[in-house]
Amino acid sequence: MRFFIKLLIGAIAGILLLPYIVIPKLSMPEGCDLESPYFSHSDADLLIDRTYRDITTGQNILDHEILDAMIDEIQSAETFLIVDFFLWNKWQGRFAKNKNNVQELRSLADLLADVIIEKRQQNPEIPILLITDPINRLYGNNDPELFQSFNDLGIPVVYTDLSNLPDSNKLYSKQVRFWSKFYDLSSNSNRFRIFPNLVESKAERLSFSQFFKALHLKANHRKVLIAGYRNSPSKMIIGSFNPSDASSFNSNLAVSVAGPLADYVARSEIKIAQWSALKPENLLGKRFELEDAFRRLNEALLPQNHFNQYASRKTGVRFISEGSTNQVLLDLFNNSDKGTEIDIAMFYFSDRKMIKALKSAAKRGVKIRLILDQNKNAFGFKKIGVPNRSVADELMQLDEVDSIQIHWASAKTGGQFHSKAIRVFDDKQDILFLGSSNLTHRSINNFNLEANVMFNEVVTVNNEFDLYFESVWGNSLGFEETVEYKALKNPKWMQYIRLCFYRIQEWTQLSTY
């Protein structure tokens, strides 16, 4: 009997382990994991969304530039338009239940959609390509109303095929990929709606299919808009802004860049749309409309083999996406020394290699300042501060504590300090890195799709960031935008709870960041 029990246990263990043996690791698909050369540019501007709380009125003041710049770019575009956003929806999250306590959210999703619709109506011939993450239809088959409006005008919408991306949640995804060969586990079935809808409280519950697709924990996290012109270079806006209503109170950073880099990124976006649209369920629109958009975009953009003509040696702006970000940032941190200054504005900071690199830099005498989100607010929901509170505690325990200073972005607005930017300066380099990538394992290690730019010796943009960072750090506008590290209550028992959550999530990657 014992023999048969052992045999049964061995058979079950073998079956459970089989997916991890036979399912190969996926590599990043075409158009991803890019590290371009530096390109010359004709125009570059830092775009800033700052949100602060006016304690006299109890209202948020929204000093925002990014959406207005995008609207201007869409209205002026002449030859093409490419738009790729992670979150593009009217969801209000927990804010919908707290309308008596919070001022009205901006209709970010509609504001952006309306100007694109107006553009198509004014110029029916301009090719427009829209790319987004399937989270905007909650991993099901119910397309948002605003995307249906695009479809009605012949504008194709492509949902990114996340199944082509490497597995972030390895414990779960390899099992699903294996067993789906025998049973369709990814069916868009709308049955068994038992899971709560956290992003839209008034919407119906999620089905089994939607919930289990979300557990793959990967995303197209890019935030990119590219516009083409007849007699001037293409222009790109790239950063951390999402046109999602629940993001109305977020602080963000973006940059507007004109030049060949915009065409380079546009070709990356087209590749993503091409392999995503191979599955019919990922395309909202007619196939011939999408193929026609691809054809006309190809004619409007610089040829792939022409980019080297515009490359410069070490100065200008370059595109860095997905896993290429990891080594670029590690090189920046590891090559820093006494006399180097590093300023970081970051929504999420959790990656262990990045933490170790910063700690080593501090021990070498590098001056480091961080403005971090408290990880307290998420679309009206409250969180406990993971991962940033735990990472900050670790960094501030260094003996070289004078080399690292941390300020917390104020949480009084109810929004998030959603920026992702890194500034490195010394007598050898003058770097600004900015985009969609958080300093998390998933963002910088070829799991999510991410889009970033890096400037070297571009005085205008780098100086604009320096002025912004100093202003937020010192609360120079007279509003509490940041507080010192010690200003937040931090009892030992809570530190321990947060640390346990952080370490488990970082080890298993079972987290939303």
Q: What is the pLDDT along the chain (513 residues), one digit of tens a residue?
A: 777 777 777 777 777 788 888 888 899 999 999 999 999 999 999 999 999 999 889 899 999 999 999 999 999 999 999 999 999 999 998 887 665 555 789 999 999 999 999 999 999 999 999 999 999 999 988 899 999 999 999 999 999 999 999 999 988 998 888 888 777 655 556 667 888 777 776 677 888 888 889 999 999 999 999 999 999 999 999 999 999 999 999 999 999 999 999 999 999 999 999 999 999 999 999 999 999 999 999 999 999 998 988 898 789 999 999 999 999 999 999 999 999 999 999 999 999 999 999 999 999 999 999 999 999 999 888 899 999 999 999 999 987 667 999 999 999 999 999 999 999 999 999 999 999 999 999 999 999 999 999 999 999 999 999 999 999 999 999 999 999 999 998 899 999 999 999 999 999 998 989
Q: What angle do CA 157, 162, 167 make, to 5 degrees?
A: 170
Is 321-508 the same fold as 38-310? yes
- Say how far apart CA 423 and CA 430 lie, in whole Å: 8
Ordered DSSP codes for 276-337: HTTSGGGEES-HHHHHHHHHHHHHHSPPGGGGGGGEESSSEEEEEETTHHHHHHHHHHHT--
> Residue ranges of the alpha helices (H) in 61-183?
66-76, 108-122, 145-152, 170-179
Residue 257's closest CA among 422, 39, 90? 39
pLDDT score of 98: 65
What is the pLDDT at residue 209? 84
Could you give the CA distance from residue 119 to residue 71 in angstroms, rounded to a whole number? 10
Residue found under tokens 């950063």? 239
- How far CA 453 is from CA of 23, 242, 256, 262, 322, in Å, comes to 34, 17, 10, 11, 11
Measured between alpha carbons, how far is residue 299 from residues 127, 144, 200, 306, 329 in Å?
11, 31, 41, 13, 35
Nearest to 490, CA basis, from 406, 362, 390: 390
Residue 391 token pair: 């990472």
**How many helices and strands in the chain, by DSSP H and E?**
14, 21
Q: Are 297 and 270 in contact (CB under 8 A)?
A: yes
Contacts of residue 52, defined as CB under 8 A and 6 or more positions apart, other chains included, come to 60, 61, 63, 410, 413, 477, 479, 480, 481
| Sheet arrangement for strand 430-435 | 311-312, 38-39, 316-321, 451-456, 430-435, 420-425, 341-346, 367-372, 404-409, 482-484
For residue 475 the two structure tokens come to: 């609360």
At residue 97, the pLDDT reads 67
For the domain made up of 38-310, the CATH class stated in words is alpha beta
pLDDT confidence of residue 262: 98
CB 482 within 8 A of CB 409: yes
What backbone torsions phi and psi does residue 476 show, to the nearest 5 degrees?
-70, -20
The type of residue at 273 is A
CB 222 within 8 A of CB 450: yes
Q: Determine the 3-state secondary structure of 434 from DSSP.
A: strand
Q: Which residues contact 258 (CB under 8 A, 6 or more apart)?
A: 41, 42, 43, 44, 232, 233, 234, 235, 236
Q: Residue 155's pLDDT is what?
A: 98
Q: Which fold has domain 321-508?
A: Endonuclease; Chain A (3.30.870)
In the chain, where are the structural domains located?
38-310, 321-508
Cross-strand partners of 283: 158
Phi, psi (rounded to 5 degrees) for 97: -95, -5
- CA separation for the pair 378, 244 (Å, rounded): 13
d(CA 511, CA 513): 6
